[in-house]
Amino acid sequence: MAKTLPQPPAGCCFHCLQPLPKDGGYRVTVAEQSQNVCCFGCQAVAQTIEQQGLVHFYQYRDTSNPLQIPLLPDELQQLEAYDQRELQEQFTQIDETGQRTTTLSVEGMTCAACAWLIEQQLQRFNGVAVARVNATTERVFVSWDETQVKLSEILQQIAGLGYRALPFQAATQEQDFKRRRRYFVRRIGIAGLATMQVMMIAVALYFGMVNELDDNLRQFFWWISLLFATPVLLYSAQPFYLSALRSIQAKQLNMDVPVSLALLSAYGASAYATLSNTGEVYFESVSMFTFLLLVGRYLELLAKQKAIATAANLVKLLPASAQREIEPGRYESVAVNQLQVGDVVQVLAGQTLPADGELLSQQTEINESMLTGESIPVLHQQGSQVLAGTLNQTQPIRVRVQATQQSTVMAKIAALQDQALANKPRLAERAERLANQFVKQLLILAAATFLVWSFIEPAEAFWVTLAVLVATCPCALALAAPTAVTGVIHRLNRYGIILRNTEVIETLRAVQTVIVDKTGTLTTGQFKLTESSYPNGQQELADRLAKSLELHSEHPLAAPFKMLDAELAVTQLSDVEVKLGAGVSATWQPIDNAPSIAIRIGAPQFIAAWHPSVLSHSSANVVLATESQVLAYYQVEDELRDDALNTLDALRQQGLEIVMLTGDRQANAQRVADQLNITAFLAECLPADKLAYVEQQQKHGAVMMIGDGINDGPVLAQADVSMTFGQAADLARQAADVVAMRNDFSAVLQLFSSTAQSRRILRQNVTWALVYNLGIIPIAVVGWVTPYIAAIGMSISSLLVLANSLRLYRTSKDTR
């Protein structure tokens, strides 16, 4: 029945109560009643209120003063607040495409079908670029175009499906779980107490302990059972009904539909038998089934909590306040979200850094295990970058803020984690689709079972059908994939490895060739000048020019030039251009009124366009020159990683081909290849050469690329699987599928072994779920399974899948 809504005065807008235009304005349907509104805006708001199920706003608002009535319900006003830019800066980011992204926490999701429903609804919404839902962590990763859609509108879309979504807040995560645990514990407690009472009566009735009692006393026991089972059905089983109703409204059936049908049918039939004093009652099955299902859901909640806690969003490690410098020696306490770039903060020993910044103090040791997984403190010198969320260990320090809130490295890592959790590998997507289809087939099977048993033994038809509904519910199949994927993501996080794309889990199996960059990947990336020569003897001038030019480059080879003792006196540089993988060019004005001179520093091939003879210089890998003369030859070297040889040997034992690509000289590449037993390598490669080589190799099979430089960005994006390190260039981190925050090359082996184990567990989960569901069908159809045995079997099946996935959370002791 439609709700009766208070009507506005004649000639007034139903929504804002202002006078209607002469043409009558617009029409809107609210609570099945057509109403007049004055404008398109009031029409749109009224439609939103109707869609969100907030019609009570019109029923109970005070209309005595039309000028003071609210135009939006409180629920929608609260969502509008999330459109404020100042607030969004605390929980959103801008990705490389210019879209704004965030992670939402969703209440009310119970299975993969709920996740699928939310995902489909958002993907069809204009302005939403990406929407990925993880049912295990109950989070939604969403990316949207701010010019087309507001965040509040996205939240309203989710609310229209019956779910409550808000920006994820790591600080309140534990409180949310405590509240949800209490939610289940109360319902489990009532169902458990009722089950014990009803089972005592059922045992007495079924096993003949009260055979001598008359029918009136037996009827009395039935009424007592009805009394105990009713709160179980109406209160304890409420989560299943709400979830089922949402799925039916959205025309996408989930696992709670057959569960709700089973509960309501069993209770209805038993209540009818009690009222009519005919037939049999199964109140104990209703109570026990609800109790077991709730226990299973509660254990699932605990497993999810473990999953999320293992990866605990890093942002919650940030302190709530910081000591901001007012003047030298004086500080004030401010909230971390009030810090601005350029502020100077003091961090005492034992405190957590509140923001990314430049170390102004002489030195300190910082524990970065929360980012890299490596517990050994890192020594930082004055001028080095220190990161938010890391722990200052040795002495008070001063830090100049360079990035705050969502701009910090920690926030970006947390965003990568959330993005990975939202992604699904192909096998996981297939499992979810199969689970959704299974529900429809299950309902058809139950209907057919009832029809057949109606001819065989009508008295048993209902109870056999009930057992089929319960026993074959595909809860385990729905849990199979998301629990395994979440497990491997957090296992890798414990090793300091961040997955940006979970498709890597499947793709790594097909990789045949591993291509590695040399500089900064197989080597430490800690460069030093080992040799230099100056053909014209102008050492001081050459070093000053080299330092000035290399200050514009982020290439690892530029680092030692920036540390030269030469005074930075050469400021007359213009038209500076950085050429990826080649070097830096500029125009130099030596003295006033003197003609300008073109100058270059970089790889010999880059200088060879002016001076081909530099290619014959045996050892130099960096050359400084003008068009008329070579000013300096430099030899810049770094050391091999300690774990490079063992890691490459282990990869070769797995049947993988190793290829090294480098822009370095042939002689240097040959030396490294000999030390690491690499037989296939290409030297003096430009970024385009690397890209062409990878494309050629992909014709023969999947390729994995490992690199860390700016010039590796295009080839990392092209490879089937790409990996870089935490200290890599920003472009490399954005292009890579995997980021190893701990700069250990051996992380490659951990990636291969962990993803291989996750694939095994995922397939075991799916196989077990299918074997159970397909195996239980004939047993349930022939009537060999009672409803409460079916409930036990379904719960055990789901718990086995969870227990198997939890194996991924175990890590060896030497990983910390």
Name the burial class of residue 147, with classes exposed (0-12), middle (13-18) and buried (19+) by CB atoms within 10 angstroms of its CB. exposed
Nearest-angstrom CA–CA distance, 809 and 753: 14
In this structure, is residue 747 part of a structural domain?
no
Q: Please, where are the H alpha helices in 237-355?
A: 238-249, 256-276, 283-310
Q: In the prediction, which pLDDT does 228 show? A: 92
Over 60: is that where the pLDDT of 496 sits?
yes
Kindly report the three-state secondary structure assignment for every residue of 762-811.
Answer: HHHHHHHHHHHHHHHHHHHHCCCCCHHHHHHHHHHHHHHHHHHHHHHHCC
CATH number, domain with residue 548: 3.40.1110.10
Name the burial class of residue 161, with classes exposed (0-12), middle (13-18) and buried (19+) by CB atoms within 10 angstroms of its CB. buried
Nearest-angstrom CA–CA distance, 56 and 33: 14
Residues 253, 347: one domain?
Answer: no
Please write the tens of the pLDDT for every residue from 612-632: 888 877 678 888 898 888 888
Residue 242: pLDDT band with limits 50, 70, 90: confident
Q: In the prediction, which pLDDT does 232 show? A: 92
Nearest-angstrom CA–CA distance, 498 and 490: 9
Token code pair at residue 697: 């190799």
Over 90: is that where the pLDDT of 514 sits?
yes
Over 80: is that where the pLDDT of 784 sits?
yes
- Which DSSP string do the residues of 429-480 spell out, in sequence order? HHHHHHHHHHHHHHHHHHHHHHHHHHHH-HHHHHHHHHHHHHHT--HHHHHH
Q: In the prediction, which pLDDT does 497 show? A: 83
Over 50: is that where the pLDDT of 311 sits?
no
Over 60: is that where the pLDDT of 69 sits?
no
Residues 212, 332: one domain?
Answer: no
Give Cβ neighbours of residue 17 (< 8 Å, ≥ 6 apart): 8, 9, 63, 66, 69
Q: Among 72, 93, 120, which residue terminates a domain?
A: 72
Token code pair at residue 18: 């202002």
Closest C-alpha to 298, from 795, 794, 808: 795
Please write the tens of the pLDDT for every residue from 639-683: 788 888 999 999 999 999 999 988 777 777 888 888 899 899 888
Nearest-angstrom CA–CA distance, 653 and 213: 77
Flag the least confident range among 301-315, 364-378, 517-531. Answer: 301-315
Are the CB atoms for 311 and 417 separated by under 8 Å? Answer: yes
Measured over the CA atoms of residue 283, residue 286, residue 292 and residue 298, the dihedral's sign is negative
Please write the tens of the pLDDT for every residue from 139-173: 788 888 888 888 888 888 887 776 777 776 554 55
Tell me the average pLDDT across 319-333: 81
Tally of domains within the chain:
7
Closest C-alpha to 143, from 107, 185, 101: 101
In this structure, is residue 749 part of a structural domain?
no
Token code pair at residue 38: 């004055």
Residue 313: pLDDT band with limits 50, 70, 90: very low
Pairing of strands 622-626, 397-403: unpaired
CATH number, domain with residue 728: 3.40.50.1000
Residues 184, 248: one domain?
Answer: yes
CATH number, domain with residue 333: 2.70.150.10
Please write the tens of the pLDDT for every residue from 569-604: 555 788 888 887 788 898 888 776 678 888 998 888
Are the CB atoms for 686 and 602 separated by under 8 Å? Answer: no
Buried b / exposed e across 730-755, counting CB within 10 Å, b at 16+? ebbbbbbbbbbbbbbbbbbbbbbebb
Tell me the average pLDDT across 322-337: 82
Please write the tens of the pLDDT for every residue from 397-422: 899 988 887 677 777 666 666 665 55
Tell me the average pLDDT across 17-46: 76
Nearest-angstrom CA–CA distance, 202 and 70: 56
Residues 644, 633: one domain?
Answer: no
Q: Among 273, 290, 310, which residue terminates a domain?
A: 310
Tell me the average pLDDT across 531-560: 82
In this structure, is residue 572 part of a structural domain?
yes
Q: In the prediction, which pLDDT does 1 show? A: 45
CA atoms within 13 A on the CB side of 328: 1
Q: How far is CA 612 from the centre of its chain?
A: 51
Q: In the prediction, which pLDDT does 814 show? A: 37
3 state SS of 737: coil
Over 80: is that where the pLDDT of 18 sits?
no
In this structure, is residue 414 part of a structural domain?
no
Q: In the prediction, which pLDDT does 793 show? A: 77
* Cβ atoms < 10 Å from Cβ of 78: 13
For the entire predicted model, the pTM comes to: 0.58
Nearest-angstrom CA–CA distance, 191 and 235: 9
Helix 787-805 × helix 747-781 angle, to 10°: 170
Domain, as residue range, for 491: 427-495+757-816
Tell me the average pLDDT across 443-464: 84
Are the CB atoms for 706 and 723 separated by under 8 Å? Answer: yes
Residues 347, 474: one domain?
Answer: no
Closest C-alpha to 602, from 480, 678, 686, 523: 686
Q: In the prediction, which pLDDT does 436 show? A: 66
Higher per-residue confidence, 212 vs 94: 94
In this structure, is residue 587 part of a structural domain?
yes
Residues 711, 774: one domain?
Answer: no
Please write the tens of the pLDDT for every residue from 475-492: 676 677 777 777 787 788
Secondary element (H or E) of residue 626? strand 622-626
Q: In the prediction, which pLDDT does 752 show? A: 93
Closest C-alpha to 420, from 487, 312, 501, 491: 501
Higher per-residue confidence, 111 vs 316: 111
Token code pair at residue 766: 């799916």
Residues 609, 585: one domain?
Answer: yes
Nearest-angstrom CA–CA distance, 20 and 26: 9
Backbone angles phi, psi at 475, to 5 degrees: -65, -45
- Side by side, the strands of the sheet bearing 363-367 are 378-381, 363-367, 391-392
**What residues form DSSP beta bridges with 365?**
379
Name the burial class of residue 231, with classes exposed (0-12), middle (13-18) and buried (19+) by CB atoms within 10 angstroms of its CB. middle
Nearest-angstrom CA–CA distance, 192 and 210: 24
Residues 364, 375: one domain?
Answer: yes
Nearest-angstrom CA–CA distance, 461 and 449: 8
Residues 42, 188: one domain?
Answer: no
Nearest-angstrom CA–CA distance, 266 and 272: 10
Buried b / exposed e across 238-277, counting CB within 10 Å, b at 16+? ebbbebbebbeebebbbbbbbbbbbbbbbbebbbebbeee
Residue 65: pLDDT band with limits 50, 70, 90: low
CA atoms within 13 A on the CB side of 213: 12
Residues 328, 297: one domain?
Answer: no
Residues 180, 300: one domain?
Answer: yes
In this structure, is residue 627 part of a structural domain?
yes
Q: In the prediction, which pLDDT does 320 show? A: 64
Helix %, strand %, coil % of the chain (to 5):
50, 20, 30
Q: Among 51, 72, 93, which residue terminates a domain?
A: 72
Residue 130: pLDDT band with limits 50, 70, 90: confident
List, as own/partner pairs, every contact residues 11-14 make where C-beta atoms lie below 8 angstroms and the sequence separation is at least 24, other chains included: 12/66, 13/37, 13/38, 13/39, 13/42, 14/42, 14/46, 14/58
In this structure, is residue 125 part of a structural domain?
yes
Q: In the prediction, which pLDDT does 716 show? A: 84
Average pLDDT score, the chain: 78
Q: In the prediction, which pLDDT does 659 show? A: 92
Higher per-residue confidence, 738 vs 712: 738
* Cβ atoms < 10 Å from Cβ of 344: 18
In this structure, is residue 100 part of a structural domain?
yes
Q: Which of 226-230, 240-244, 808-812 has the highest mean pLDDT?
A: 226-230
Residues 645, 627: one domain?
Answer: no
Q: In the prediction, which pLDDT does 639 show? A: 78
